[in-house]
Structure formats: C-alpha cells, structure tokens
Structure 1
Amino acid sequence: MSQTPNDPAGSTQQFQHFAQQQGQPDKAAKVNVGLIAGIVAVVALVAIIAIAIGMTM
C-alpha cells in the first residue's frame, strides 16, 4: 500500500487534475495579499481625509 492515499500517478487525467490543484493556492494567496494591501490603503486614505477635515474646523 502506498504512503499517500491520493496518488496522482494513476492516470494522465488524474495527474493533470492534481497539477491544477497544486497551482491554485499560489494564485489565491497573491490575490489575498493584494486585496489586503488595497483595503489598508483605503483605510489610510480615509483616516488622512478625516484628520484634514478635523483640522480645518
């Protein structure tokens, strides 16, 4: 019995599916980092605008 229950070497189709699954988390991680950076930038911009408005009053 093999050590890994999910053996991608069973057939070409199974291997292609396995290879596609292995590549997906990298893309998702990059998108999440960009999304978080964008949210941080928007929050910082809103804070700067709020401070500027508060100083003019």
Structure 2
Amino acid sequence: MSQTPNDPAGTTHQFQNFASQAQPQKSGPNVGLIVGVLGVVAVVAIVVVAVMALG
C-alpha cells in the first residue's frame, strides 16, 4: 500500500493553501499557567503564616 507524500511546496497554489491554513504560534506567556502558579504560591504562603502563628 503506497501513499503519495503530502508535499505542500509542490506547486505555488498548494503552498499558498498550506501557508494560509497554518496557525501562528503564540509567543506570549500562558496566562492560565501564570494564574495557577500564583495561586499555588498564595496557598503556600497562607500555610506558612498559619504554621508560624500556631507554633
């Protein structure tokens, strides 16, 4: 069973279609990850303050 290779540079028209379908990569930071890390840091800080207050 042979498959034909998918070469988007085969013709100019095929390449233009391929380039227009490509999604641009986001170079900015992931906001969800930053919010999650800040949440974890806040919880750890609260626990540390509670342990120090009880100890």
Sequence identity (%): 36
| TM-score w.r.t. length of structure 1 | 0.57
Task: Give the helix-richer structure, 1 or 2.
Answer: 1
| TM-score w.r.t. length of structure 2 | 0.58
Aligned structure 1 segments of 4 or more residues deviating by more than 4 angstroms: none
Gaps of 5+ in 1: 1-9
Gaps of 5+ in 2: 1-11
Aligned to 2:23: 21
Query: What CA RMSD, in Å, does the superposition of the two structures yield over aligned residues?
Result: 2.4
